[in-house]
């Protein structure tokens, strides 16, 4: 049976997940302790995640492609040695967004501004009765969590469906122990800064916002319905399945059970947030082969998988691409 996990968990733009997570964390700061990567044995040790890591090469130049999960738990660290070796070998690290923009509080505020309704109507005016009832039930069940964020049934009426869907998903994921500040994108961005490595982004925050804000109304309503359908214990169980698939590096499960379903049930949304962005990134990734030294590209895992993914598209363009089992660090 296909996974019914919130679509944004792997598909939506990393910047929006991390920016929205930052806004939620800021509003919860008075009541919630921020998570951090453990430095002791207080979190049970687990084997490092099996990396979704590929090496694309042309001549002596390599571009490593790493599939990330945008929210993680403390015991998802440390990373596998293969990821550390690829990071060490790279002279630059490329993300969906430039790290300086990802870390800027302005991104979250621009996202919230874009999510505001501007036509004088309320959200309930366009929701099907079943969706309105499900949203009301979710708001009631999560009132204590939402109150420090300044969110309640009345405040939610000011926002577009896509923004509410993103909020629902983030609240559910953080309640289940997943933390935007521990996402692999955020982790590698911090490490790149500490190591003095060059960094860059494949797109801008405003472009990412446009992918969601530009959804047609039926897409937005589907997006919200999907988020509400995957809440509570059942949603947490499916989220664990998806997270476990990422931890075990199971590209086939991630592709067949999530991407294929999304492509069938939400074709326009799938094309908007996956295919179109992959196609826009390809020339920029190819351009990395013209720069001196190797590069590491870290993007949401789904962007690398299947016939629509960056890995397959690079293979079609004549690059040699192989799944990494071991990476030799570069010689200093």
Convert the pLDDT of each residue in 65-109 to its tens digit.
Answer: 999 998 899 999 999 999 999 999 999 999 999 988 877 778 888
Exposure b/e, 155-165, CB count within 10 A at least 16 = b: ebeebbbbbbb
* Omega cis (within 30) before 262: no
Closest CA to 172 of 208, 204, 134, 209: 134
Q: What's the full length of the chain, in residues? A: 332
Instruction: Report the C-alpha gap between 130 and 136 in whole angstroms.
Output: 10
Mean pLDDT of 188-193: 95
For residue 9, the model assigns a pLDDT of 39
- Neighbouring residues of 60: CB distance < 8 A, sequence distance ≥ 6: none
- pLDDT tens column, 15-42: 555 555 554 544 444 333 333 444 343 4
- pLDDT tens column, 85-94: 999 999 999 9
The pTM (predicted TM-score) of the whole model is 0.86
For residue 2, the model assigns a pLDDT of 41
């Amino acid at each position: 049976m296909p996974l019914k996990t919130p679509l944004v968990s792997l598909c939506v733009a990393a910047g929006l997940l991390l920016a929205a997570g930052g806004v939620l964390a800021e509003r919860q700061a008075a009541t919630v302790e921020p998570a951090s990567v453990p430095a002791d044995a207080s979190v049970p040790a687990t084997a490092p995640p099996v990396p979704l890591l590929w090496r694309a090469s042309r001549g002596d130049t390599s571009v490593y492609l790493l599939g990330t999960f945008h929210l993680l738990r403390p015991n998802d660290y440390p990373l596998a040695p293969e990821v550390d070796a690829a990071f060490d070998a790279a002279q630059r690290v490329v993300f969906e967004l430039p790290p300086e923009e990802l870390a800027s509080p302005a991104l979250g505020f621009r996202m919230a501004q874009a999510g505001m309704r501007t036509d004088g109507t309320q959200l309930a005016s366009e929701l099907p009765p079943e969706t309105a009832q499900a949203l009301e039930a979710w708001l009631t069940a999560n009132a204590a969590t939402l109150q420090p964020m300044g969110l309640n049934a009345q405040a939610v009426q000011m926002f577009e469906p896509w923004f509410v869907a993103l909020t629902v998903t983030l609240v559910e994921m953080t309640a289940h122990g997943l933390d935007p500040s521990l996402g692999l994108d955020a982790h590698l961005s911090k490490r790149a800064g500490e190591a003095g490595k060059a960094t860059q982004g494949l797109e801008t925050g405003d472009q990412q916002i446009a992918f969601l804000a530009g959804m047609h109304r039926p897409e937005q309503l589907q997006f919200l319905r999907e988020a509400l359908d995957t809440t509570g214990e059942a949603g947490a169980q499916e989220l664990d399945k998806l997270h476990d698939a990422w931890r075990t590096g199971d590209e086939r499960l991630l592709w067949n059970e999530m991407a294929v379903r999304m492509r069938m049930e939400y074709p326009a949304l799938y094309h908007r947030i996956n295919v179109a962005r992959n196609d826009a990134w390809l020339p920029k990734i190819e351009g990395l082969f013209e720069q001196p030294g190797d590069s590491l590209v870290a993007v949401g895992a789904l962007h690398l998988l299947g016939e629509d993914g960056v890995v397959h598209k690079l293979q079609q363009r004549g690059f040699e691409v192989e799944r990494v089992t071991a990476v030799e660090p570069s010689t200093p």
